[in-house]
């Protein structure tokens, strides 16, 4: 991106607090085992609910050759820390268990993978629901197995190996402490004539242009008084 730590170093020279920085709004990478499991899904996007203990987002998830991306993943990455898991619901609008129970009553001869492929891409179904269960006809499947299938699809727990870092990140999390700055002028409260704006400051917005707006607005605020 061509950025440098100049602003952070300057702030530290004047005793201004700088919070540790890391990449935000960034794709997740996965370990070798998970990448092998999900390898055939690269390029597929699925409407998903992605959450952790801090936040949740309902947007598209994109499977990639490195791991997971798409708006839902980029959003949750800003609330994720190394070593933590995330939970993913690949069918957020559907009560899958009840759907399967009803399908068994009305279409008992249908195979499980055929029913699931009505709602998800077939490659996703084949990856998450293995044979022989996926190939069974609905009348052959127990309620307990339907519960297991529902858990696999709607409560997928995964631990990212890391992120793709600043190379693909859209923002930096952390930076110069907001409390050290005037909210009206962006001037350092303890140092007359020293201003910090935009990405240098510990402000991180969601996707949707909020980070651009912060950069423009903070720059405008400082520009009015410089």
Query: Over 90: is that where the pLDDT of 4 sits?
Result: no
Average pLDDT over residues 49-70: 97
- On whether residue 192 sits in a domain, the answer given is yes
In the chain, how many domains are there?
3
| 95-154 per-position pLDDT tens digit | 999 999 999 999 999 999 999 999 999 999 999 998 899 999 999 999 999 999 999 999
Average pLDDT value over all residues in the chain:
96
* Same domain flag for 161 and 75: yes
Range of the domain at 161: 28-91+157-166
The CA distance from 18 to 11, in Å, is: 7
Higher pLDDT, 75 or 130: 75
Query: Over 70: is that where the pLDDT of 1 sits?
Result: no
Average pLDDT over residues 50-67: 97
Residue that is last in its domain, among 166, 189, 207: 166
Residue that is last in its domain, among 166, 194, 212: 166
Q: Give the contacts of 192 (CB within 8 A, at least 6 positions apart).
A: none
Q: Percent of the chain, pLDDT > 70?
A: 99
Banded model confidence at residue 71, pLDDT cuts 50, 70, 90 = very high
Banded model confidence at residue 2, pLDDT cuts 50, 70, 90 = low
* Same domain flag for 162 and 53: yes
Average pLDDT over residues 73-101: 97
- On whether residue 1 sits in a domain, the answer given is no
Residue that is last in its domain, among 128, 143, 166: 166
User: What pLDDT, on the 0 to 100 scale, is given for residue 112?
Assistant: 97
| 12-50 per-position pLDDT tens digit | 999 999 999 999 999 999 999 999 999 899 999 999 999
| CATH code of the domain covering residue 79 | 2.40.30.10
Average pLDDT over residues 159-188: 97
Query: Over 70: is that where the pLDDT of 218 sits?
Result: yes
* Same domain flag for 86 and 187: no
């Amino acid at each position: 991106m061509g950025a440098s730590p100049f602003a952070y170093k300057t702030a530290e020279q004047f005793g201004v607090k700088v919070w540790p920085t890391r990449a935000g709004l960034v794709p997740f990478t996965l370990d070798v085992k998970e990448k092998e499991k999900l390898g055939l899904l690269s390029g597929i996007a699925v409407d998903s609910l992605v959450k952790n203990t801090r936040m949740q987002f309902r947007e598209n998830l994109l499977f990639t050759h490195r791991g997971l991306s798409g708006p839902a993943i980029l959003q949750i990455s800003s609330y994720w820390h190394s070593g933590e898991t995330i939970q993913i619901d690949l069918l957020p609008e559907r009560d899958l268990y009840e759907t399967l129970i009803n399908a068994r009553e009305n279409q008992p001869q249908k195979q499980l993978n055929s029913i699931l492929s009505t709602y998800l891409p077939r490659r996703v179904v084949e990856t998450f629901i293995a044979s022989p269960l996926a190939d069974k006809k609905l009348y052959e499947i127990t309620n307990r197995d339907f519960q297991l299938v529902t858990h696999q699809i709607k409560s997928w727990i995964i631990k990212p190996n890391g992120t793709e870092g600043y190379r693909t990140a859209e923002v930096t999390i952390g930076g110069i402490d907001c409390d050290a700055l005037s909210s009206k002028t962006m001037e350092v409260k303890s140092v007359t004539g020293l201003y910090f704006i935009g990405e240098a400051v510990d402000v991180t917005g969601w996707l949707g242009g909020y980070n651009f707006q912060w950069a423009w607005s903070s720059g405008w605020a400082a520009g009015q008084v410089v």
